[in-house]
Amino acid sequence: MHMYKGHARAYTNIALIKYWGKADQQLILPMNNSLSLTLDAFYTETSVTFSSEFSEDQFYLDHQLQDKKATDKISRFLDLIREKAQSQLFAKVDSQNFVPTAAGLASSASGLAALAGAASAALGLSLEEKELSRLARRGSGSACRSVYGGFAEWQKGDSDETSYAVPIVSNSFEDELSMIFVVVNDQQKDVSSRDGMQRTVETSAFYDGWLATVPQDLAKAHTAITDKDFQALGEVTEASALKMHGTTLAAAPPFTYWSAESMRAMNLVRQLRNQGLSCYFTMDAGPNVKILVQRKDEAALLGKLQEHFSADQLITAHAGPGIKITTK
C-alpha cells in the first residue's frame, strides 16, 4: 500500500487594494491587480493523504466529514494536481481553520492556499512559489496571495501561466503595522464574494470607474510601502474598499455587505482620525470592519474601540509569514 502525505499551514490575507471581478471564471483570472497583507491571526492547517486504499476523496473540515457538495469542490481542485502529477489516487483531506473566535472569519484564501501546498507536496510536486501561487489561484483567487508573508501583489496577467502573486519589497514596513478586526454580527444572508463580484462585473454602472482607477491606487500603495508612509497607505486602502463597495450599490439587483454596525465602526474610525489617531478601515465581502493602524498606536486604538465594542468583537492581527509546507 502506498501512502503519500503532505501538510501545509497558510495564513489568511486581507487586500488593501481589492480584487473585485473576474475576466475568466474558469481559470480565475482577475479583472485587476490586487495588493494584500498576510496576517498572523488566522490560518488553516491542512493534511492531505493520497492512497490506493481510498475509493473516493474525503474532506474533513474541523474534524467533521463534509457533504458531497463541499467534497466535490475539493475533488475538482485536486483533479488539477492529480493531472499535473499524473496520479489517479484518491485523497483524504483534513483541514482545520484556526480563528480566534467563532466569528465566521474562516477564509477561502488560507484554506485553498494550504490545500494547494499540502496536496502538491503529497504527490511529490515541488512547486516554486510562483507555480504554487498559480495553483492556489485556481482554488480561490485571493489564495494566490497567501503563498507569501507580508505584502503581496496578485498580478492579473492574461492567462493561466501569467496570473500569480509576487512578494513586495517592503523593508519590513509590515512589522510596523497592526490590523484590528471589528467582528460585527448581523442576520443578513450573505451574497458570496464569487456571486457578488460576478453580478457587479456584469451589471454595475460603476464597474468601469472601479477598473479605470485601480492602476493609480496600486501605484499609490507601492509608493507608500516604499516610503513607509502610513497615512498614504491608509488613505488608498480606505479609498479602494469604499470604491469596491460602491460598485455593489450600482449592480442589478443592487446589494451591499454593509450593516448598520459596519457603518458605526467606519464612522468611529473617521471620528478617531479627526481626533488625531491615525487609522483607516477596510471591508471585504461581509459586514466585519478591519482597521489598519500603526503598531505604536495599537493599544490606544484598542482602548477607544473597547468603549464601543465588546472585547470578544475585537481581534488584533499583525503581519504573518508565508505558507509552510512539510511532507511526512
Where do contacts with ligand 2P0 occur on this chain (CB under 6 A)? 15, 18-20, 28, 34, 108, 140-142, 193-194, 284-285
Place of cell 474525503: 58
Pick the closer one to ligand 2P0 by CB: 194 or 324: 194
Rounded distance between C-alpha atoms, residue 244 and residue 239, angstroms: 9
Three-class DSSP category at 205: coil
Rounded distance between C-alpha atoms, residue 206 and residue 199, angstroms: 12
Please check whether residue 238 is in contact with residue 281, taking contact to mean a CB–CB distance below 8 angstroms: yes
Give me the least distance between CB of 314 and ligand 2P0, in Å please. Answer: 21
Give me the least distance between CB of 298 and ligand 2P0, in Å please. Answer: 23
Rounded distance between C-alpha atoms, residue 78 and residue 72, angstroms: 10
Pick the closer one to ligand 2P0 by CB: 32 or 49: 32
Give me the least distance between CB of 144 and ligand 2P0, in Å please. Answer: 9
Pick the closer one to ligand 2P0 by CB: 6 or 286: 286
Give me the least distance between CB of 136 and ligand 2P0, in Å please. Answer: 10
Give me the least distance between CB of 194 and ligand 2P0, in Å please. Answer: 4
Place of cell 504573518: 320
Using CB atoms within 10 A of its CB, is residue 325 exposed (0-12), middle (13-18) or buried (19+)? buried
Three-class DSSP category at 230: helix
Q: Closest-CB residue for ligand 2P0?
A: 141
Pick the closer one to ligand 2P0 by CB: 12 or 316: 12
Pick the closer one to ligand 2P0 by CB: 95 or 140: 140
- CB-based contacts of 78, cutoff 8 Å, min separation 6: 57, 91, 93, 119
Pick the closer one to ligand 2P0 by CB: 25 or 267: 25
Q: How many other CB atoms sit within 10 Å of the CB of residue 192?
A: 11
Give me the least distance between CB of 8 and ligand 2P0, in Å please. Answer: 18
End-to-end CA gap in the chain: 16
